[in-house]
Structure 1
Amino acid sequence: MDSRTRFLIYAAASYMLLSMMAMVIESRNKKRKRVPRREGITYGPIDERDRKRFDYLNDKIWKNDTICVNMLRLRRAPFFRFCKLFRDGGLLVDTIHMSVEEQVAMFLHTIGHNVRNRVVATDFYRSGETVSRYFNLVLRAIGEMRKELIRPPSITTPSKILGNPRWDPYLRYDPHLDCVGAIDGTHVRVSVSKDMEPSFRGRKDHATQNVMAAVDFDLKFTYVLAGWEGTAHDAVVLRDAIERTDGLRVPQGKFYPVDAGYGAKPGFLPPFRGVRYHLNEWGTNPVQNEKELFNLRHSSLRVTVERAFGSLKRRWKILDDATPFFPYPTQVDIVVACCIIQNWIIEDGGDDFIISEEEWIANYSYATSRSGQASEHAYMVQFSGQSDKGGHVTWTSSMSTYMLEYLEGIVASGNKTSSGFKQVHLKACAKALNDHFKINLTSDQITNHMRTWKRKYSKIADLRKLSGALWDEENFIISLDHKHYADHIKDHKADAEYLNKPIHNYGKMLVIFGNSLATGKYAKGSSDPLATESIPIDEEEEQIGIDSAAETGSTCRVHPLNEENGASSSAPKPKKAKIVAAIEEEGLIGAFKSVGEKLAGAILEAGKEAAKSYKDLPDNLYESVHSIPRFEDTHLAHYFAHLVDNPPTASVFVTLEFAHKVTWVARYIATTFNG
């Protein structure tokens, strides 16, 4: 095929492509014209809606201190001082239609009562998107005050201890002289996806996060670590707090009294196990020995952190056994934000939500206390090995393997629930072991031995994160080179059984505990910024009426991390028809683009070939053709064009003798023009 023919074909193809595009565009324009244009939604004057909002704020929010406390959990004067803090620091700014006071009021109303987005939108005459956007802005602004409001404890002896007759006689001999506060944990209810629930269901019958806090004797939080799964042991949470870059630091020579679950270590002092501890356990019975005296003083000091948690949940109902509705990372941020606000309130002078020590002790109930002391004490006894259910059992390797195989079968059959194994399955496992090994086990002993293997699984998960460690998926081996292995074993001799050798029963542990292991993936300390996962959308505020606000319950667009953990935004999604139309239009445009690119490439290639062919023509070709006599100029021009299209023929033609040239021209003319 010569160059001229190719150019003609390409030109025809280009014409067809352009014609098709014109037809498609024309048909779409006609289709759009057939659809009647919907009238735009008309709104009343903005100043009228603003007037309604101001009336609501003046009449329903800060009309008087009683109403303000009921709605925002703060009196009017502290509330306006709190808002001034944001404005003066440039953390929040007034917009055209929303003041800083309204932004903070919506935030406090949400966390104070755990009300849904659409309820706040209706009450404040806003859209759901607007409420969600400003909620995240206020949350982030509160996080920016963390360093000013959550500070390390003072190294001086607290006034609560110094001069107090309850402790002062013991200061010269008792280490409480160096106590700078108290540490404890609390469980806050969370909402997570079904596949995440097993790791969040611990001692409670619902999913929770384990929150650890250090508190001074003024009830101010000096450190907070939130976000650990409810199954995480207190000692694991404390270790994470200590190992963080900006984590918990104990001043030199000082310490915190802690619960028995945290264990004894430098800077942290637990009570004696198996000895009376909680205040209501004493009654009228006097102290019998030095251990009971120590536990009594220890409990009297550590009640401070329980009061702090009680005051916190008393004020912010989103933390008090309420089911939250935010993505999980936001739920973690809210816990830290509540602690920051609580510190500011105490520094501002406090209020009736702060529980006094006299009120706390007078109403202290072992069975119904807000922090669940009964459950915590039972939990401490379980881990201390003091349970009297069943006798001592020496577990052999074959017994452990048999138990794990049995539980693995239960998981494979789909009978394990999100809260763990049912009692009927644990009893069946105990019976199977008793029948096979001729022993006498109980379901409680099965549960305790499961905890042992779960701790092993958690240990293996930590070792896999060691620097320089390699993981063999097929043989379940954590490999370390000789130097790394020797350095690690020098300080951690117990880890030798898990390194550089196959891990026995790891496959079974993976099936049983794989989705219920607490990892602390979402844990966040009080030194970390808040609302980093939420991405505010455009600053242009959507202004709609009260009816539309009641129907719109959208939330702010969220970071992909939130979608990963199964708690994505509930913002309105695009209509399905619009999505399909967009996909179809994108596909058609893509097809035209692809064909156009291929056609352009072919034309360009043909042009390159033609240019190359033209360069290969003999320089004297034109003179050689037109110097032949007795032929019409038209015929010679045709023959010249033929030679141009066929450079090899042209190259041979110029080398022929004159008589042969005449013969070639005559033959071409006779063939082309039929004689």
Structure 2
Amino acid sequence: MVRLYLRRDAERRKRLLAMFKFYMEICHAVSSFLTLLSAASTLCTYRPRVRSYALDFATNREYVRRLVYDNDISCISQIRMNRVTFLKLCEMLESIGGLKSTKNMLVDEQVAIFLHIIAHHVKNRVISLNFRRSGESISRHFHNVLAAVLKLQEHLFRKPEPIPTNSTDNQWKWFKNCLGALDGTYIRVKVPSADKPRYRTRKGNIATNMLGVCTPDMQFVFVLPGWEGSVADGRVLRDALRRRNGLKVPNGCYYLVDAGYTNCEGFLAPYRGQRYHLNEWRQGHDPSSHEEFFNMKHAAARNVIERCFGLLKMRWGILRSPSFYPIRIHNRIIIACCLLHNFIRREMSFDPIEMDLGEYVETNIAVDEDFISTIDPTDVWGLLLGFFPLPVQVKTMSTSSARASQSSKGTKRKWNHREDVALVTALIDLHNIGKYNADTGFRGGYLIELENMLATKLPDANLKAKPHIESRIKTLKKEWAIIYDMVQGTHTSGFGWDDQRNMVVADDPVWEAYIQSHKEAAPFRRKSFPFFNELSIIYARDRAIGKDAQTAADILEEMQDCNDTINEEIEGENLAGYNFEDEDFSNIQPQTSAPRSDTTSTRKRKRLNETGDPITSESIIAAATILGENIKEAGIEFSKSVGAEVNIQQKAQELDGILSQVEGLTAMERVLASIKLPESPTLMFVFFSIDPDRRLEWLRTFLADR
């Protein structure tokens, strides 16, 4: 009996232990299921983090407040304009430029980021750290603000006005009907290695040549960036005049230019061979002739464009060093800097940066006989000089030396075809040797080598490096450039080259249209040039073509065409009205790893038919729809637990749009309200609940308390 009792007791303990293990396994399974369910809910349900959003937004706004809104001194130091001017710029970019706020960034922060980058040439990673934004957000908003600034060109570019007859300005009263001054300046850029020879200037820097035109009050009228640094200023001006959206000079008016341009209708250059620079008239060095007096007044007035360039580069640091942006984007930044320069001069009565510039900025252009002719020269400056009033002491001085220097010209040497062939052959041989090769041609000392080579081939010609060989090379290169621009130019079409006749060929309408704006090309309509292919080997590779040169109007047209193309593509690929329920899924069969017997398939089909509920595509779609609705309802039910937080976030996102609808609210009050209201959700709900007519008074009371 005792053994039987012990056996039963052992079996009972085993059953209890088994039940306990089973109970623990059930608990473990339930716990695992709940853990998986919680993880699935976390993955499938969106939980907005309003508190974190509000804190991050307030923190970012705090940096903008310290950067811009603390005081005018820090505002000018960081973004180059005072607070009132900054708010006016934001309003213009919103109303005219189409710039809009996002749920995470207001317009003033976007503009502050843009101005801070171009003012100090700060890289993306530094700005993203300071403003607590991602690099993608910084880049996107930078380009949005850049596009908005370019849209202000009609409002910010100054309309030129001629100097009136009764002008009392000491610098400009001498130049009646003058519109201002123009010149070119170099802005350093970064380009691919293959393009560096075309962008290398005479000083060896990689830069773009920007044409700038300004009025006497130092506001830009027209700018054309993008030409390669190796190009001459006269060629850039010629391109600006021939563009559809280019520089327009009214009849009877003119601009002051330096000695790098040709004296012609619409452009007044100084006398050559006479003193010109401003520093030459200091320390009692008064002018001693009509020409020198004219040059002194010309230099004093034309200095406005040099001061304009100097102020532009002092204000915007991105123009003082090579930019890391692509060349086409950098050209747009240059135009935007000029537009903002005009806006600052128009809105700010006192500019401390201009005070640091000084009264005069010296030019680096040397007055010499080596210049590029752009259009037919005239005697406009001589006619103006006849009416140019001179001081008495200047009138009594002799100008015979000046006349002698102007009239003395050396005899020109005529080259025959045999000598031209020998010269071009020597150039090709020198180029193949490579000893004197350089960007856009040859480096110094090659003329002496050519003289020795021609002395061997043509011992009786007596050709000297200067002036014979140098002058002839300039003439041949000039003729080659005219033909090359017709045949290989980026803005020309319809021209071809006949290797048999060594002539440019084109239809008569093409010739007539081209000659109207390119008079220098008229002789080559029936004139052959036998050295085109040979000179192309030497000069074509590094020839500046201006493929990236664009005016502000050209950029706007390009942006509009790009937007139209994108809209057409979106409309063509719009699938919003596509009904997937009309598709036939009956031919879609699941793939199996191995073929099944006919008996099994028949048995399964019979079983499905017997139930009367076959599995078809309609039932699959219906089941998926029901499942999706259930998941959606479950997500909605789960989100109700944080409904209050979601409502706060929605109100915070709608706040900027509601504030913009409050009439009478200034930009500063709007910015402060967008910062303070999200910090107090209760007061934000009160603001949304009151009548729209009372919101202005309520907001001002709210801001006054804080």
**Alignment match of 2:485 (pick from 431, 451, 462):** 462
- Matched with 1:114 is 121
**Alignment match of 1:433 (pick from 450, 454, 460):** 454
- Matched with 2:289 is 289
- Matched with 2:676 is none
Do the aligned partners of residues 330 and 229 (structure 1) sit closer, same or farther apart at CA in structure 2, a change above 3 Å counting? same
AA of the residue aligned to 2:233: D
The farther-off stretch of 105-114 and 352-361 is 352-361
**Alignment match of 1:164 (pick from 156, 165, 169):** 169
Q: RMSD over aligned Cα, in angstroms? A: 4.0
Which of 1 and 2 has higher RCO (CA within 8 Å, sep 6+)?
1
AA of the residue aligned to 2:346: E
Supply the distance in 2 between the matched residues of 1:380 and 1:99 (Cα, whole angstroms): 56
Do the aligned partners of residues 70 and 492 (structure 1) sit closer, same or farther apart at CA in structure 2, a change above 3 Å counting? closer
Q: Is 2:268 aligned against 1:273?
A: no
Supply the distance in 1 between the matched residues of 2:256 and 2:232 (Cα, whole angstroms): 17
Q: Offset at 1:341?
A: 0.5
| Equivalent residue runs for 1:271-350 within 5 Å | 271-283=270-282, 284-320=284-320, 322-350=321-349
- The 3-state SS of whatever aligns with 2:179 is coil
Q: Is 2:544 aligned against 1:518?
A: yes
- Matched with 2:159 is 152
Do the aligned partners of residues 380 and 316 (structure 1) sit closer, same or farther apart at CA in structure 2, a change above 3 Å counting? farther
- Matched with 1:408 is 428
Do the aligned partners of residues 430 and 217 (structure 1) sit closer, same or farther apart at CA in structure 2, a change above 3 Å counting? same
| Equivalent residue runs for 1:543-582 within 5 Å | none
| Equivalent residue runs for 1:529-544 within 5 Å | 529=555, 532=558
| Equivalent residue runs for 1:6-405 within 5 Å | 45-89=52-96, 91-155=98-162, 157=164, 162-165=167-170, 168=173, 176-283=175-282, 284-320=284-320, 322-352=321-351, 355=354, 359-361=358-360, 364=361, 369=362, 373-374=363-364, 376-377=365-366, 381=370, 397-405=417-425
Do the aligned partners of residues 116 and 406 (structure 1) sit closer, same or farther apart at CA in structure 2, a change above 3 Å counting? farther
AA of the residue aligned to 2:477: K
Q: Offset at 1:233?
A: 2.0
Q: Is 2:442 aligned against 1:421?
A: yes
- The 3-state SS of whatever aligns with 1:433 is helix
Asked if structure 2 preserves the Cα contact closer than 8 Å seen for 1:197 and 1:419, the reply is no
Supply the distance in 2 between the matched residues of 1:105 and 1:489 (Cα, whole angstroms): 48
Asked if structure 1 preserves the Cα contact closer than 8 Å seen for 2:156 and 2:342, the reply is yes
Do the aligned partners of residues 79 and 400 (structure 1) sit closer, same or farther apart at CA in structure 2, a change above 3 Å counting? farther
Do the aligned partners of residues 412 and 132 (structure 1) sit closer, same or farther apart at CA in structure 2, a change above 3 Å counting? farther
Do the aligned partners of residues 167 and 443 (structure 1) sit closer, same or farther apart at CA in structure 2, a change above 3 Å counting? closer
Q: What are the superposed Cα offsets for residues 518-561 of structure 1, whole Å, 9 maximum, x if unpaired?
A: 22221112333359579999xxxxxxxxxxxxxxxxxxxxxxxx
Q: Offset at 1:115?
A: 1.9
Supply the distance in 2 between the matched residues of 1:193 and 1:478 (Cα, whole angstroms): 32
- The 3-state SS of whatever aligns with 2:201 is coil
Supply the distance in 1 between the matched residues of 2:132 and 2:547 (Cα, whole angstroms): 38
- Matched with 2:476 is 453
- The 3-state SS of whatever aligns with 2:245 is coil
AA of the residue aligned to 1:277: Y
Asked if structure 1 preserves the Cα contact closer than 8 Å seen for 2:213 and 2:220, the reply is yes
Q: Normalised by the size of structure 1, how large is the TM-score?
A: 0.63
AA of the residue aligned to 2:191: V
Do the aligned partners of residues 340 and 417 (structure 1) sit closer, same or farther apart at CA in structure 2, a change above 3 Å counting? same
- The 3-state SS of whatever aligns with 2:554 is coil
Q: Normalised by the size of structure 2, how large is the TM-score?
A: 0.60
Q: Offset at 1:194?
A: 1.5
Do the aligned partners of residues 427 and 435 (structure 1) sit closer, same or farther apart at CA in structure 2, a change above 3 Å counting? same
AA of the residue aligned to 1:290: H
- The 3-state SS of whatever aligns with 1:515 is coil
The farther-off stretch of 483-492 and 206-215 is 483-492
- Matched with 2:5 is none
Do the aligned partners of residues 275 and 329 (structure 1) sit closer, same or farther apart at CA in structure 2, a change above 3 Å counting? same
Asked if structure 1 preserves the Cα contact closer than 8 Å seen for 2:125 and 2:135, the reply is yes
Supply the distance in 1 between the matched residues of 2:350 and 2:542 (Cα, whole angstroms): 41
AA of the residue aligned to 1:101: D
Supply the distance in 1 between the matched residues of 2:560 and 2:135 (Cα, whole angstroms): 15
AA of the residue aligned to 1:319: L
AA of the residue aligned to 1:127: S
Asked if structure 2 preserves the Cα contact closer than 8 Å seen for 1:235 and 1:263, the reply is yes
Q: Offset at 1:357?
A: 11
Do the aligned partners of residues 381 and 231 (structure 1) sit closer, same or farther apart at CA in structure 2, a change above 3 Å counting? same
Do the aligned partners of residues 419 and 102 (structure 1) sit closer, same or farther apart at CA in structure 2, a change above 3 Å counting? farther
Q: Offset at 1:495?
A: 4.3
Q: Offset at 1:57?
A: 2.1
- Percent identity of equivalent pairs: 32
Question: Which runs of 5 or more structure 1 residues have no equivalent in the other structure?
Answer: 1-38, 171-175, 538-595, 597-675
Asked if structure 1 preserves the Cα contact closer than 8 Å seen for 2:441 and 2:538, the reply is no
Supply the distance in 2 between the matched residues of 1:267 and 1:493 (Cα, whole angstroms): 17
Do the aligned partners of residues 137 and 443 (structure 1) sit closer, same or farther apart at CA in structure 2, a change above 3 Å counting? farther
- Matched with 2:388 is none
AA of the residue aligned to 2:187: V
Asked if structure 2 preserves the Cα contact closer than 8 Å seen for 1:150 and 1:221, the reply is yes
Supply the distance in 1 between the matched residues of 2:182 and 2:113 (Cα, whole angstroms): 32
Supply the distance in 2 between the matched residues of 1:336 and 1:397 (Cα, whole angstroms): 48
Q: What are the superposed Cα offsets for residues 96-149 of structure 1, whole Å, 9 maximum, x if unpaired?
A: 111111111111111112222222222222222221111111111001000111
AA of the residue aligned to 1:285: H
Supply the distance in 2 between the matched residues of 1:437 and 1:479 (Cα, whole angstroms): 34
AA of the residue aligned to 1:315: R
Asked if structure 2 preserves the Cα contact closer than 8 Å seen for 1:310 and 1:355, the reply is no
Supply the distance in 1 between the matched residues of 2:196 and 2:99 (Cα, whole angstroms): 36
Supply the distance in 1 between the matched residues of 2:468 and 2:439 (Cα, whole angstroms): 21
Do the aligned partners of residues 262 and 90 (structure 1) sit closer, same or farther apart at CA in structure 2, a change above 3 Å counting? closer
Q: What are the superposed Cα offsets for residues 280-329 of structure 1, whole Å, 9 maximum, x if unpaired?
A: 11222221111111111111111111111111111011112x01111111
AA of the residue aligned to 1:521: K
Supply the distance in 2 between the matched residues of 1:167 and 1:490 (Cα, whole angstroms): 34
Supply the distance in 1 between the matched residues of 2:316 and 2:467 (Cα, whole angstroms): 37
Count of residue pairs brought into register by the alignment? 480
